[in-house]
Structure 1
Amino acid sequence: MIRVLIVDDELLLRKGIQALIDGESDMQVVGMLANGEEVLKELDAIKPDIILMDIHMPRLDGIKTTVKLKQMNSNVKVIFLTANISEEEVIRGISAGGDGFLVKEIYPDDLFRSIRDIHRGQHVLSYDVAKILVKSIRKLSLNKCQLLAKRLENHGLSFTKRELEVACHLVEGLDNRQIAQKLYLGEGTVKNYISEIYQKLNVRYRDEAIQFIERLLR
């Protein structure tokens, strides 16, 4: 039997999750608490296998609570629950020892599956959280021009190194004179590179080219 502790400052949400989980034959709710301070006081007495923890709580938020409780018992698994998640919180939560991130709009069957997977030692991320994490990793591993080159390649487009540099400066909002100064080129040369970019992207205007490149970089 998987012992689940629910930690959220909203009573109605705690009760709703409890009703769902207690309907499953292989898991049960062994406690419901309203904030992180209560978790640290009651952890040894409740002895949960998994904690469903709201990130945004008063007094002691879910991430800070997780840091402390993992020091007390590293075997306890923590699934963060949140309505809104930021890149900073994803990174902080993983660094704190979180085993999963789920949005509160999750379907019951997906919640049950996540609890079972994490109990078996896996890590679980909802789609929204995984998307944020992927973007973060890409930003760490590739600069904008490198990322643009990869995205262009995926669309069957090949830019020279200079064309990539000019394209990256285009989306930064630089005019031809500013691009020329950045790259130590003549304005006429920059204009020729921009014409080549238009041709490869099959566009006619600067705004169209910028919008196309911005879509690739999202």
Structure 2
Amino acid sequence: MVKIMIADDQQLIRESLKIILDSDPNFEVVKVVGSGQEVLDTVETESIDIILMDVRMPSMSGVECTRLVKKKYPNIKVIILTTFDDDEYIYDALKYGASGYLLKGCSLEELSSAIHNVLAGGACFNPNVAGKVTQFFSQMANSNGEFNFGHGEDEHIDLSDTECKIIAQIGHGYSNKEIAQKLGFSEGTIRNYLSVILDKLDLRDRTQLAIWYLSRGNK
């Protein structure tokens, strides 16, 4: 059973999400809250697998809340809930460890797929706004922004054919298990490859790696 917390300051949004998720027998909505502080209080006392986090909440933004949650509880996954005009929040949330983002109003199928994918070690990026995110990080890659996008020009990065294939699979949101099945390796081997790849590119996690891949014009 996947234990979920929903954090959104709009009651209609959070209650609607709860109704949607409660229709899936694999999910248990443990808590529905309306502020970042309530999120922090809940993770102290409840076992949570994943948080659906709004970015705009009173007193503490979802971005700051994501940073604090991931700092203390790195195993809790965070999916950002966003609207089209929340771009500036999305970038920072991903930087602080969110596993992706979804547009509010997504279907149960989209939501369920994203949750399972993130819990399996993947990432979720809504295609309607993915271009904005990759464009932003691509610009930061060529600037002095605080987000570190790797060691520099692609031609200076020594990646094997297998590493390139793994990067492409991660860029498309596949989990370690799915990549292992596709490429004929064990999950442990994929994890080892991923660790080496992140070190070579000077990236922190698979979410940044997916953005790195997409920002270079890959599909």
Structure 2 unaligned blocks of 5 or more: 144-219
Partner of 1:214: none
1:91 corresponds to: 91
Per-residue CA shift, 1:124-166, capped at 9, x if unaligned? 11113311122224435679xxxxxxxxxxxxxxxxxxxxxxx
| SS of alignment partner, residue 78 of structure 2 | strand
CA–CA distance in structure 2, aligned partners of residues 32 and 52 of structure 1: 10
Which residue number corresponds to residue 23 of structure 1? 23
Percent sequence identity is 28
CA 1:85/1:26 → structure 2, altered by over 3 Å: closer, same or farther? same
Residue in structure 2 matched with residue 179 of structure 1 by the alignment: none
- The alignment partner of 1:52 has SS state of strand
| Structure 1 portions without partners, runs of 5+ | 144-218
User: Aligned runs of 1:108-127 on 2, under 5 Å?
Assistant: 108-127=108-127
Cα-Cα RMSD:
1.8
Q: Between Structure 1 and Structure 2, which shows a larger proportion of helix residues?
A: 1
Matches within 5 A, 1:1-218: 1-140=1-140
Q: Deviations over 1:167-211 (max 9, x none)?
A: xxxxxxxxxxxxxxxxxxxxxxxxxxxxxxxxxxxxxxxxxxxxx
What TM-score comes out, normalization by structure 1 length? 0.61
Structure 1 pair 14–88 and aligned structure 2 pair: CA distance change class (3 A): closer
Which whole-Å deviations, capped at 9, do the CAs of 1:63-110 have from their partners, x for residues lacking one?
Answer: 000111112211000000012344432321111111111110312210
* CA offset digits 1:42-83 (Å, max 9, x no partner): 212122100000001111010000111112211000000012
Distance change (3 Å), C-alpha of 1:41 and 1:140: closer
Partner of 1:106, secondary structure, is coil
Q: Give the partner amino acid of 2:11.
A: L
Q: Distance in 1 between matches of 2:127 and 2:18?
A: 24
Q: Distance in 2 between matches of 1:17 and 1:5?
A: 10
**Could you list the per-position Cα deviations for residues 15-62 of structure 1 after superposition, in whole angstroms to 9, with x for gaps in the alignment?**
111111111121110101110011111212122100000001111010
Distance between the aligned counterparts of 2:142 and 2:61, measured in 1? 32
Mark the CA change 1:100 to 1:140 in structure 2 (over 3 Å): closer, same or farther: closer
| Alignment TM-score, normalising by the size of structure 2 | 0.61
Bigger-Rg structure (1/2): 1
- Which whole-Å CA distance do the structure 2 matches of 1:8 and 1:86 have between them? 14
